């Protein structure tokens, strides 16, 4: 399998081609900005265990604000591999259920934390909120400069 993946990797273009006629498909995709959309995770129906399961953001999508998506993907992959150590053709569904139970005990707390942090981050504070926030930041900056001056002077 590794040889196949390496061969496929060699076929992939390493840069955007200059001549579009000699290269029939485009591999460059510019960044697209999209509005953050909130979906309450408690309103989504849970799936039933089958021979297909999900890991990482496919199972529990989180905002990138807290940086937990990759961590959960790695933890999910590890939990799934541990559950599949007991694999046999007769009990594969029970292996997947074991993984999903572990994942569902761990992930919802971080999904809700991520949702709360994102909602808090994107909620507008209004004109007076900006004035208050900027005043606090300027005052804090001034006090830090005064402290540094006092420390260096003494």
Cα 152 vs. chain centroid, distance in angstroms? Answer: 43
Question: Is the pLDDT higher at 17 or at 105?
Answer: 105
Q: Cβ of 80: how many Cβ atoms within 10 Å? A: 19
Q: Do 86 and 140 meet the contact criterion of CB atoms below 8 Å apart? A: no
- Segment 115-131 mean pLDDT: 81
Question: What integer pLDDT is reported at residue 129 of this predicted model?
Answer: 82
DSSP the chain: -HHHHHHHHHHS-SS--S-TTTS-S---------------GGGSPPPPP-S----GGGTS---TTS--HHHHHHHHHHHHHHHGGG--TTSHHHHHHHHHHHHHHHHHHHHHHHHHHHHHHHS--HHHHHHHHHHHHHHHHHHHHHHHHHHHH-
Helix axes 69-83, 92-122, angle to 10 degrees: 170
Note the pLDDT tens digit of each residue in 22-31.
Answer: 555 555 556 6
Note the pLDDT tens digit of each residue in 33-82.
Answer: 677 677 777 777 777 778 888 888 888 888 888 888 888 889 999 999 99
| Lowest pLDDT segment from 10-19, 32-41, 97-106, 121-130 | 10-19
Q: Which two tokens stand for residue 51?
A: 């021979």
Tokens 């579009």 correspond to 20
CB burial string 37-57: b at 16+ within 10 A, e below: eeeeeeeeeeeebeeebebbe
- The pTM assigned to this predicted structure is 0.55
């Amino acid at each position: 399998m590794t040889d196949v993946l390496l061969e496929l990797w060699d076929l992939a273009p390493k840069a955007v081609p200059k001549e579009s006629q000699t290269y029939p498909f485009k591999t460059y995709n510019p960044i697209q900005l999209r509005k953050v959309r909130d979906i309450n995770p408690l309103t989504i129906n849970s799936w039933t265990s089958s021979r297909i399961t999900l890991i990482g953001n496919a199972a529990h999508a989180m905002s990138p604000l807290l940086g937990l998506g990759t961590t959960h993907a790695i933890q999910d992959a590890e939990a799934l591999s541990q559950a599949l150590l007991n694999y046999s053709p007769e009990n594969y569904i029970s292996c997947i259920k074991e993984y999903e139970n572990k994942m569902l005990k761990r992930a919802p707390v971080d999904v809700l934390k991520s949702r709360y942090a994102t909602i808090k981050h994107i909620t507008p504070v209004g004109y007076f909120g900006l004035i208050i926030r900027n005043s606090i930041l300027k005052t804090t900056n001034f006090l830090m400069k005064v402290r540094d001056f006092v420390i260096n002077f003494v």
